[in-house]
């Protein structure tokens, strides 16, 4: 089995694959203060609850936008799975042609999402990930990753309203059902949710035009993923598909593209010479 780990700024998502099949998945809060042993025990408990055996895991693959947690998870992989984890970074085969000015600046999560989306839906594509940040990525019909747009996510915007104002409260991220609101909580929900929907529609409209022109007028498909994808997609017409497991599936695809990195056994958890580099 393959354990795929996506470490985000807010949440870490795990997926357990048996071949191409996603057997189960888990989500928990990313905590840079946790040790490798704490993460190992947490993952052990999750496996036990689902009736899975950690000994069945033959490989581990990690993507992350949180460098401070990467070493911890690599150490955890060695100690608890006896495998040196594959890290999605420069040098790992993805099947994409990266057209970014500096490819090393592209977040691993954006690349992993693009790999999965292109494999499932082909191109041209816009992939929107509703995470801590809301990211928009453009991929051509020839598997070229062109770049995209990064905006504050809904949770960041909500937290900023609460933290930077004296009297505004924290609110649940849910639709109030109207924009002419008669109380502060609903007024904030309206601004956050409907404002974000408007942002999505405007960015997608502009990006679709640019991407379609680049691809000779071909129709652009829009795929959404991330924890808040369903909420936002319910109020916009520009999203064609919501695919919550896109990142995990992308990790599985990248794993298959890199057989030379499979089954890297590691019995000594103190050996970390090249953990941060693809071999």
Closest CA to 258 of 85, 110, 118, 138: 85
At CA 186, angle to CA 165 and CA 10, rounded to 5? 65
Tokens for 246?
A: 């896109």
Closest CA to 127 of 221, 237, 63, 213: 221
Give the DSSP H or E segment for 87: strand 86-87
Give the DSSP H or E segment for 224: strand 221-225
Q: CB neighbours of 273 closer than 8 A, spacing ≥ 6?
A: none
**In terms of DSSP bridges, do strands 144-152 and 86-87 run parallel, antiparallel, or are they unpaired?**
unpaired
Q: Catalytic one among 6, 59, 101, 109?
A: 109
Whether 141 is catalytic? no
Looking at the DSSP assignment, which residues form a beta bridge with residue 144? 97
Alpha-carbon span 264 to 248, nearest angstrom: 20
Tokens for 37?
A: 């042993």
Residue ranges of alpha helices (H) inside 50-183 are 67-81, 108-121, 154-163
139 within 8 A of 116, measured Cβ to Cβ: no
Taking each helix axis from N to C end, the angle separating 108-121 and 246-256, rounded to the nearest 10 degrees, works out to 90
**Residues classed as catalytic:** 109
């Amino acid at each position: 089995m393959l354990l795929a780990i996506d470490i985000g700024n807010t949440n870490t998502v795990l997926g357990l694959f048996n071949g191409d099949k996603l057997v189960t998945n888990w989500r928990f809060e990313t905590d840079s203060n946790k040790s490798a042993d704490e993460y190992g025990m947490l993952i052990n408990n999750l496996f036990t609850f689902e009736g899975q055996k950690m000994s069945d895991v033959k490989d581990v693959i990690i993507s992350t936008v949180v460098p401070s947690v990467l070493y911890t998870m690599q150490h955890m992989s060695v100690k608890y799975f006896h495998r040196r984890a594959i890290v999605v970074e420069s040098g790992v085969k993805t099947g994409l042609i990266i057209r970014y000015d500096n490819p090393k600046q592209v977040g691993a999560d954006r690349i992993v999402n693009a790999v999965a989306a292109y494999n499932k839906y082909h191109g041209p594509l816009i992939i929107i990930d509703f995470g801590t940040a809301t990211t928009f990525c453009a991929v051509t019909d020839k598997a070229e990753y062109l770049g995209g747009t990064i905006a504050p996510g809904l949770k960041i915007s909500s937290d900023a309203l609460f933290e930077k104002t004296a009297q505004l409260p924290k609110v649940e991220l849910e639709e109030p059902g109207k924009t002419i609101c008669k109380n502060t909580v609903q007024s904030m929900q309206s601004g956050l949710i409907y404002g974000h929907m408007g942002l999505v529609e405007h960015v997608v409209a502009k990006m679709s035009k640019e991407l379609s022109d680049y691809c000779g007028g071909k129709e652009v498909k829009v795929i959404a993923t991330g924890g808040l994808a369903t909420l936002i997609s319910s109020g916009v017409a520009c999203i064609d598909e919501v695919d919550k497991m896109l990142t995990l599936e992308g990790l599985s695809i990248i794993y298959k593209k890199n057989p030379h990195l499979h089954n890297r056994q590691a019995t000594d958890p103190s050996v970390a010479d090249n953990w941060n580099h693809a071999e």
